[in-house]
Structure 1
């Protein structure tokens, strides 16, 4: 979908000005209170920043995915909880919309416009890839009875709905997985435990959810039985991993900016830090790291937008590269600050803490590497098989002509 470039650049400027001004005020309040105020959510909603990427027919602004990432890049320079609000609200509709029926589609529209908050509810303490889900449902008539536990569920305490994934009792792997839109309304047997005390990303609520024979109507299911992981992995996780990669780029840019400002300001032994070769090396390495990761993120975004066959592998690859880059950049940025950077009064301290969360958000790099390796090996095997089947068939060997018996004269000539 095309967008007016002047309007888009104006929107970028508007977001950048907010991040550097009111966004920093909100960040200080979040750090002080350990909570994201409802007023902040409403401000972001009213600005339309929670519905940037969704199509116009759902109530969004219809900004194409690669261009939306340019906006998320800017937002990610702010507090991690502010980024999280924008990121999650601009992504959950992708999982729901392709599978929603007419009634559910109205809920999707409310999620897009920020009227309701939907929490993506896949992660479990004893399962790591999605295919090994242990939360189960048992169907009795028009009701599923849900049992199991979820943890590390972002917005799982304050959300209006959980987009929850489980499996039919007795099934394994992808078979029997289901996606359910479960209302967070005090359902029988549902316990919500606030688990929000974290190293970074302070203010964003995280939940442990325990379900014991919790009744959920079958009408709450998105798609068919067996499509649960299709909803989770293709609809949300694939583009979300690219978004997390871009958020790593944005936060790295903020770390680099803080490091440069400090290096230009700080003097030791009569010289600015920025004049010292070792500091210049750090800054140059950070610049190259950020630029390389940013380029791969946009390649992954275009692959997703175009439905390319390697979109999944590029999505995971972009996250691998970007979060490793973020670790290196923030570490060097903190080192440039010296001991000063370790104190909470300096913004780099918060940036350093927030950066660590992206190492496991939407799957650890260990999982991403498994995804990439599986895709690369499968592509190689398919290419080799295609080449083998296309090779011309060699003709059947013919019987060799009998060797003539040498005559005595011939033997003599030989």
Structure 2
């Protein structure tokens, strides 16, 4: 039945025991610090993520860690998954992006999927057998009810028209999880969520992957001209599009991006501390200079504060708290600003040498900038937080009246 929620299938109701979690944490940490670092060099030198890396991630089970066992995943709770996301984020940004997206898109699909759609799309996505690209953003609109890509019903199919851009994995995927609106409709009530096959006729794919950082992750601009999509590929009902796009996906995804900022900041700090200890001036390591030591101390405090807020937001979402959406925006906003400060100071500790590609901090610094717009800019997060704040104040005033 569409919308059927078996126990734990929304990602909130399952967890593994401490021993299993400790084993997974050790396995992920060892991989990130070993093979992951080698893969980072390959990605940077080639500008692509090799298929053999995706295969390795799939075979190790890293693409299904956050999903419940009923879908073929490892059954981690969301807070447990955040602990592993923190470690993955110390690796190359494209590796982090793969595990973040694949471990999250099932949340958007599953609550609205039929049993047949779970079998065809959700379970294979969790297993890493297919790649589903989240496809919402448009070049001339925001990422909400103002989307203008349209569909019109034609028998047992829809005909899709419109343009999408900044679509992660939009080039190298099997399906686009795409959001459009019924032709002639307005607002959220006319929106639909569709799984569109990558090889659909009338679909044009432009590779726009030449980015400042996060090298290796493909991005696409997509154009659709009367592209046929089976009605059987629609998730939920007509009018459910925005609920599918935002309801079960955006809040936990923003928290996950917040944690990815924490993990990347920890990597920047690790590099800064190591460099400060080995770099010698006037007979002393620069770590002995108060100016350097204070930057490292500020970074340490900054990272811990952001991590605490991210984990609080994760626990609140896991518990189904009403303030989880606002907290997710607070966590993402705070963590992004923290990452900006930490990577800037980490680069400063390296001096001029940090600007060269021979130093790993150069890549970390570039990759950090992408987090500022992933899952919404800081300005969007502030708008979400302010609305929640003012709505709650109005509700209290009404209750007291």
- TM-score, normalised relative to structure 1: 0.92
Structure with higher Rg: it is: 1
1:326 to 331, 339, 354: 339
2:31 to 18, 27, 30: 18
Is it true that 1:121 corresponds to 2:135 in the alignment?
yes
Contact preservation (8 Å) 2:136, 2:143 = no
2:46 and 2:203 mapped to 1: Cα distance?
28
2:264 and 2:276 mapped to 1: Cα distance?
18
2:127 and 2:337 mapped to 1: Cα distance?
34
2:92 and 2:15 mapped to 1: Cα distance?
30
State the 1:4 CA deviation: 2.0
1:68 and 1:266 mapped to 2: Cα distance?
36
1:216-269: CA deviations, max 9, x gaps?
111111011111010011111111000000000000000000000000000112
Report the more deviating stretch, 139-148 or 262-271.
139-148
**Who is 2:233 aligned against?**
220
State the 1:333 CA deviation: 0.2
- Give SS of 1:192's match: strand
Map of 1:133-172 to 2, 5 A cutoff?
133-172=147-186
Q: How many residues align?
A: 387
**Who is 1:411 aligned against?**
none
Contact preservation (8 Å) 2:131, 2:173 = yes
Map of 1:256-405 to 2, 5 A cutoff?
256-388=269-401
**Who is 2:218 aligned against?**
205
State the 1:130 CA deviation: 1.4
Is it true that 1:63 corresponds to 2:103 in the alignment?
no
State the 1:161 CA deviation: 0.6
State the 1:129 CA deviation: 3.3
1:130 to 141, 144, 152: 144
Report the more deviating stretch, 143-152 or 254-263.
143-152
2:51 to 31, 34, 38: 38
- Give SS of 1:91's match: helix
1:169 and 1:387 mapped to 2: Cα distance?
44
1:129-153: CA deviations, max 9, x gaps?
3121111111222221111111110
Question: What is the root-mean-square deviation of aligned Cα atoms in Å?
Answer: 0.9
Is it true that 1:234 corresponds to 2:234 in the alignment?
no
1:348 and 1:59 mapped to 2: Cα distance?
37
Contact preservation (8 Å) 1:153, 1:207 = yes
Contact preservation (8 Å) 1:240, 1:362 = yes
- Which structure has the higher relative contact order (CA within 8 Å, separation 6+)? 2
**Who is 2:87 aligned against?**
74
State the 1:20 CA deviation: 1.1
Contact preservation (8 Å) 1:129, 1:367 = no
- Give SS of 1:163's match: strand
Contact preservation (8 Å) 2:192, 2:237 = yes
**Who is 1:251 aligned against?**
264
Contact preservation (8 Å) 2:15, 2:80 = no
**Who is 2:10 aligned against?**
none
**Who is 1:188 aligned against?**
201
- Give SS of 1:73's match: helix
- TM-score, normalised relative to structure 2: 0.95
Any runs of at least 4 consecutive aligned residues in structure 1 with deviations exceeding 3 A, and if so which?
A: none
Q: Identify unmatched segments of 5+ residues in structure 1.
A: 389-414
**Who is 2:5 aligned against?**
none
